[in-house]
């Protein structure tokens, strides 16, 4: 039984995600997304798809990147 790092719930069906050499334990995908998914710089929504990155800045789409002054990125097809 693992303890979720986001909400603290102890759950018999918890799972681990390894990211950047660190292991995180979660009780749900919702908690994993809340902890690990980057935020779109334009609107603050969690990016749960591919998203776009420019340096250390994350965007959910090309439109948001352009709104923040980042050009040259394209949505993945």
Give tens-digit pLDDT for 44-63.
999 999 899 999 999 999 99
Q: Within the chain, how many helices (H) and strands (E) appear?
A: 2, 6
Same domain, 72 and 53: yes
Q: Which residue range(s) make up the domain with 18?
A: 1-36
Rg (C-alpha) for the chain, rounded Å, is 15
**Do residues 45 and 38 touch, judged by C-beta distance below 8 A?**
no
Q: What is the mean pLDDT of the chain?
A: 94
Q: Looking at residues 21-31, what average pLDDT do you find?
A: 97
Same domain, 31 and 44: no
Euclidean distance between CA atoms 66 and 12, whole angstroms: 44
Q: Provide the whole-model pTM.
A: 0.81
Same domain, 31 and 58: no
Same domain, 43 and 24: no
Same domain, 43 and 73: yes
Report DSSP state, residue 46.
B
Same domain, 77 and 44: yes
Domain count, the chain: 2
pLDDT of residue 66: 95
Residue with the larger pLDDT of the pair 73 and 40 = 40
Report DSSP state, residue 39.
B
Same domain, 25 and 47: no
């Amino acid at each position: 039984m693992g303890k979720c790092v986001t909400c603290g719930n102890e759950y018999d069906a918890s799972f681990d995600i390894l990211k950047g050499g660190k292991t995180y334990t979660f009780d749900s995908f919702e908690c994993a997304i809340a902890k690990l998914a980057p935020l779109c710089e334009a609107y603050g929504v969690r990016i749960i798809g591919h998203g776009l990155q420019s340096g250390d800045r994350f965007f959910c789409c090309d439109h948001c990147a352009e709104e923040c002054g980042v050009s040259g990125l394209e949505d993945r097809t």
